[in-house]
Structure 1
Amino acid sequence: MEFQLLGPFEARHEGRPVPVGLRRQERRLLAILLLEAGHAVAIDRLVDLVWDGDPPASARGTLHTYVNRLRAALTPYGVDVETRGDAYAVDAGGHTVDAARFTELARRAATATDPAVRVELGTEALGLWRGPLLAGLAGDGLRRRVGTGLEDLRLTTAELCAQVQLDMGYHDRVIAVLMELAEAYPTREGLVASVMTALYRAARQADALRLYELAYKALAGELGVEPGVELETVHQRILSGDPRLERPAAPVYAVRVREVWLPWSVGGHPALDFCNTYAGWGGERMPGAEWLRGYPALAVWAGYQDLVDDASVNRLLDEARLDPLGASAVLDEARALRADLYSCLTDPDDTAAFAAVARCVEAAARMSVYERGPDGLGRWRLSREAGLRAPLYAAARSAGDLLADPRRWSVCACPSPRCGWLFIDHSGQRRWCSLATCGPRS
Structure 2
Amino acid sequence: MEFRLLGPFEARHHGQLVELGSRRQERCILAVLLLDMGRLVSTGRLIELLWNGRPPTSARSAVHTYIGRLRASLAPYGARIRTSGDGYLVERDGHHVDVDEFSRLAYQASRATDPTARVRLVDQALALWRGPFLADTADGELRERLHGTLEELRLTGIELRAEAQLALGRHTSVINELPPLVARHPTREQLVAILMTGLYRGGRQADALQLYRSTRQALREDFGVEPGMRLREVHQRILRDDHPLDRPSRPVYEVRVRAESLPWSVGGHPALEFCNTFAGWGHEPPMPGAEWLREYRTLAVWTGHVGLVEDATVDLLIELARCDPDTATAVLDEARALRSRLYTCLTGPDDQQAFDAVARHAEAAAKTLVFRRDSNGCGRWSPNPTAGIRLPVHAAAWSAAELLADPRRLTIRVCPDEMCGWLFLDKAGLRRWCSLATCGQTAAAEAPCLTA
Give the TM-score, by structure 2 length: 0.49
Say if 1:191 and 1:124 are closer, same or farther in 2 by CA, change over 3 A.
same
Aligned-partner residue type, residue 154 of structure 1: R
Q: Aligned residue for 1:63?
A: 63
Say if 1:104 and 1:119 are closer, same or farther in 2 by CA, change over 3 A.
same
CA distance in 1, matches of 2:218, 2:140: 17
Aligned-partner residue type, residue 8 of structure 2: P
**Equivalent runs, 1:341-380 vs 2, <5 Å:** none
Q: Aligned residue for 1:125?
A: 125
CA distance in 2, matches of 1:93, 1:213: 52
Partner deviation per Cα, 1:61-110 (whole Å, 9 max, x = no partner): 11111112222222223322222232111122343211100111111222
CA distance in 1, matches of 2:182, 2:4: 23
Task: Say whether the 8 Å CA contact 1:165–1:173 is kept in structure 2.
Answer: yes
Aligned-residue sequence identity (percent) comes to 53
Are 1:134 and 2:124 counterparts?
Answer: no
Q: Aligned residue for 1:49?
A: 49
CA distance in 1, matches of 2:185, 2:20: 32
Gaps of 5+ in 2: 249-294, 298-452
Q: Aligned residue for 1:158?
A: 158
Aligned-partner residue type, residue 115 of structure 1: P
Helix, strand or coil for the counterpart of 1:89?
strand
Task: Say whether the 8 Å CA contact 1:179–1:195 is kept in structure 2.
Answer: yes
Q: Aligned residue for 1:402?
A: none
Deviation at 1:222, TM superposition (A): 2.8
CA distance in 2, matches of 1:12, 1:144: 25
Q: Aligned residue for 1:381?
A: none
CA distance in 2, matches of 1:213, 1:134: 36
**Equivalent runs, 1:30-429 vs 2, <5 Å:** 30-139=30-139, 141-203=141-203, 208=208, 211-212=211-212, 215-235=215-235, 237-238=237-238, 240=239, 242-245=241-244
Deviation at 1:246, TM superposition (A): 6.0
What is the root-mean-square deviation in Å for CA atoms of aligned residues?
3.1
CA distance in 2, matches of 1:191, 1:159: 6
Deviation at 1:167, TM superposition (A): 1.9
Helix, strand or coil for the counterpart of 2:7?
coil
Q: Aligned residue for 2:254?
A: none
Deviation at 1:140, TM superposition (A): 5.4
Partner deviation per Cα, 1:332-356 (whole Å, 9 max, x = no partner): xxxxxxxxxxxxxxxxxxxxxxxxx
Q: Aligned residue for 1:440?
A: none
CA distance in 2, matches of 1:6, 1:149: 13
CA distance in 1, matches of 2:131, 2:159: 18
CA distance in 1, matches of 2:219, 2:137: 29
CA distance in 2, matches of 1:246, 1:87: 53
Q: Aligned residue for 1:29?
A: 29
Q: Aligned residue for 1:311?
A: none
CA distance in 2, matches of 1:44, 1:104: 29
CA distance in 1, matches of 2:168, 2:296: 20
CA distance in 2, matches of 1:186, 1:77: 45
**Aligned length in residues:** 252
Q: Aligned residue for 1:388?
A: none
Say if 1:201 and 1:92 are closer, same or farther in 2 by CA, change over 3 A.
same
Task: Say whether the 8 Å CA contact 1:183–1:211 is kept in structure 2.
Answer: no
CA distance in 1, matches of 2:221, 2:4: 34
CA distance in 2, matches of 1:167, 1:92: 39
Q: Aligned residue for 1:4?
A: 4
Task: Say whether the 8 Å CA contact 2:174–2:195 is kept in structure 1.
Answer: yes
Give the TM-score, by structure 1 length: 0.50
Aligned-partner residue type, residue 231 of structure 2: L
Helix, strand or coil for the counterpart of 1:244?
coil
Say if 1:216 and 1:73 are closer, same or farther in 2 by CA, change over 3 A.
farther
Helix, strand or coil for the counterpart of 2:64?
helix
Helix, strand or coil for the counterpart of 2:109?
helix
Aligned-partner residue type, residue 46 of structure 2: L
**Which has the larger displacement, 45-54 or 135-144?**
135-144
Aligned-partner residue type, residue 50 of structure 1: L
CA distance in 1, matches of 2:36, 2:214: 35
Partner deviation per Cα, 1:17-76 (whole Å, 9 max, x = no partner): 433222222111111011001111111111111112111110111111111222222222
CA distance in 2, matches of 1:11, 1:202: 44
Larger radius of gyration: 1
Gaps of 5+ in 1: 250-282, 286-442
